[in-house]
Amino acid sequence: MAVEKMKKLNVIGKLSVMDGVLIDILKSKKVNIINAQREIENNEFSFSLEDQKELEKILEFNYVVPFEKDESKEVTVKRAKELMEFFGIKSIEREFVESTNLEIDFNKYYEILKPKVDRLKEIREELETNERISGNYKYFENVDIDLSQLANLEYFNVRFGVLDREGRLKLKNNYGNIAALIFHTKSTEDGEVYLAIYPKEVSNEIDRILRSLNWEEVDITGKYTGTAQEVLEDFERETKELLKEEEEIVNYRDSLLRDKEDLIKKLLARMLLNEKLEEVKGSMARSRRYFYLAAWVGVSDCDEIASLLSKHKGVSFNFKDPNEEKMVPPTKLKNNSFIKPFESLLKMYGVPNYKEIDPTLFLGITYMILFGAMFGDLGQGLVFFLGGLFIYKVKGVDLGRILTRLGIASMIFGVLYGSVFGSEEIIPALWIRPFDNINQVLIISIAFGIVLLSISYFLGFINKYRSKEIEELLFGKEGIAGFVIFLVITNLGVSFMGDITIIPTGVSLGLLLICILLLIFKRPLTQKLMGKKISYENGDVSGYYVEGSFSLIEALISILSNIISFIRVGAFAINHVGLFLAFQTIGEMTGNSVGNFIALLFGNILIIGLEGLIVFIQSLRLEYYEMFSKYYKGDGYEFVAEKVELEEK
């Protein structure tokens, strides 16, 4: 449940070593770069003036400007993508990024390969064009005239096209009204092919008529002369020559890739790195001779980053405590592999701020317990586990890993309830059968909810103490006063419903009254405790107490609803069995084993799909609304390490 401590990193270095420094930082994947220009302007980019070696670098703050976009880097990235397409490489493995050599002269290699790259692209474009145009000429392979001559007549226009069935019928019915000669040349799967010849003077009218017929134009004009059959023979001959040349280039490419694969991928990695370098430089600043970089680094990674930066000559750096800088650091969560998938559920609500406790561990454990208690079944839990495993293996998403853990929780409670695919006749219950002990299950649910809410209050105390929210800690509705009201209401409820007196009713009512007054007068009391003069926002005394009274009513209703909400845990555990019994009854009513099996199968599918989704949502609701409201703000921002992504996503 830890949020990693952060240090602010400031770096100044010579422009000549900048690329090397940035590549080392990107490879480390442990630095969250922030806007250096803004840090300098806010006087939060600081170095000691006592060190004479640093004085020149600091003086150049007067000439600091943002980095301008380097167009040459964009060209390099474009060239890298051309080479990747040429070699058929879809991604660059991490090992080649890690071993990137800054000294590689990628422009020299590119110029050597460029003629082959361009020619292969030209050949494939020509082959595609030939295939498209030859398809058009095939429509007219029965026309024994030079089609190029038809396209260049002085007084007539010639058009070639295809008509569908509806267009053919219209043409047939109105042929005598059209001032054109229209010849049918061929039948195809696409429709009937026609050749239309008409005087240029009536072009507008014929164009309108052909459009009304849904005329689909066939383009066969261009550099080719002769009959359609002669042109097709030329195409075939040209295509064979292009394919032969393509094969030669492909063989050269494959041979080169086979012999120099490592060098080629290192070359591509270096070229593609330019894209990321340009992105990072957008957050940096520069002067005439130096670059300036600001970032956040986890305390545990400071030594490694210091070691990386120390390798480069002319680079100065320091680490600052965020409390010194009065800045709000990003949040970097540290959780073990079992709990880590639940971070995605946490981030749906919000990222914990730097001073908050990371609630992922508490969320993960309680979420599994709540889901398992509401959906306790050994067989159906196994389906969830296997389904989650499949989703994670195929898609690699956190939802799959969450489902595996929920499946385990469901199986554990299935053993405790003695339930396998809804049936309670296969294995004995190690603890309780919910459907046979309804009152007991509901009471246990509420008691468990009270325990979880109590823990939530205590987590809230810690967070409020860390963020120095004294007023809310002592007298807030989620603070100590609110917790005492929660305990008093719980005690009164137990006394009334269970005839068990833990604290006498008179004492409980007295504590309740005192805490209500503390909630109403929390601001003046806090100011008095802190030795400050009592004051109200905008001087509105009456408005403050009216608002406080409504807040009190809201707090009392909230406490009652929070406790009662946990009754749903037991209700869903009971409902889970009841729903299966309904399908079991339907199966028995069919009167045969096949019908019974189908009813039970359908019932289990519905329970796993529909009830499983409902329980997933209800468990999340208890976490978000009942527990998070007591201790969690989620108003932080996430630590995002800069890294190189050259792999296909």
> Pick from 369, 375, 376, 374: which is nearest to 418 by CA?
376
Q: Give the strand pairing for 181-187 and 216-217.
A: unpaired
CA distance 402 to 409: 11
Residue 442: pLDDT over 70: yes
Give me the numbers of helices (H) and strands (E) for the chain, helices first please: 26, 12
Residue 50: pLDDT over 90: no
Positive or negative, the CA dihedral 320, 325, 326, 331 is negative
| Of residues 221 and 469, more confidently modeled | 469
Query: Poorest-confidence range of 39-53, 291-305, 449-463, 552-566?
Result: 39-53
> Pick from 239, 37, 33: which is nearest to 128 by CA?
239
pLDDT value of residue 648:
44
pLDDT value of residue 649:
39
pLDDT value of residue 97:
63
Domain ranges of the chain: 2-67+282-329, 334-440+569-637, 469-565
- Those residues whose C-beta lies under 8 Å from the C-beta of residue 523, and which sit 6 or more positions away, are 471, 534, 536, 544
- Those residues whose C-beta lies under 8 Å from the C-beta of residue 295, and which sit 6 or more positions away, are 8, 9, 11, 25, 31, 32, 33, 34, 642
pLDDT value of residue 379:
95
Positive or negative, the CA dihedral 486, 491, 494, 495 is negative
pLDDT category, 56, cuts 50, 70, 90? confident
State which amino acid sits at residue 567: I
> Is there a contact between 17 and 313 (Cβ–Cβ < 8 Å)?
yes
**Stretch 529-537: mean pLDDT:** 80
For 131, the token pair is 């295939």
Average of per-residue pLDDT values in the chain = 86
Question: ∠ at Cα 366 (365, 370), nearest 5°?
Answer: 125
pLDDT value of residue 237:
87
pLDDT category, 646, cuts 50, 70, 90? low
Cβ neighbourhood burial of 69 (10 Å; 0-12, 13-18, 19+): exposed
State the CATH class of domain 2-67+282-329: alpha beta
**Stretch 23-32: mean pLDDT:** 90
**Stretch 394-407: mean pLDDT:** 93
CA distance 57 to 35: 18
CA distance 318 to 106: 34
**Most confidently predicted of 146-155, 257-266, 512-521, 542-551:** 512-521
Q: What is the pLDDT of residues 177-199, one digit of tens each?
A: 788 888 887 777 778 888 788 88
CA distance 352 to 466: 13
Query: Poorest-confidence range of 31-40, 151-160, 272-281?
Result: 151-160
pLDDT category, 339, cuts 50, 70, 90? very high
pLDDT value of residue 367:
98
CA distance 576 to 162: 64
> Pick from 376, 425, 431, 314: which is nearest to 572 by CA?
376
- Those residues whose C-beta lies under 8 Å from the C-beta of residue 611, and which sit 6 or more positions away, are 375, 572, 575, 576, 579
CA distance 443 to 567: 8
**Phi-psi domain of 420 (left: phi exceeds 0; alpha: psi -120 through 50; beta: other):** beta
Alpha carbon separation from 10 to 3, 26, 278 (Å, rounded): 22, 16, 19
Q: What is the pLDDT of residues 415-440, one digit of tens each?
A: 999 999 998 888 999 999 999 999 99
CA distance 7 to 298: 6
pLDDT category, 397, cuts 50, 70, 90? confident
Give the largest Cα separation in the chain, rounded: 113
H or E element that contains 486? helix 480-498
Q: What is the pLDDT of residues 218-274, one digit of tens each?
A: 766 555 677 777 777 887 888 899 899 989 999 988 888 888 888 888 788 777 787
Alpha carbon separation from 78 to 71, 102, 106, 125, 162 (Å, rounded): 11, 19, 13, 19, 41
> Pick from 1, 90, 43: which is nearest to 361 by CA?
1
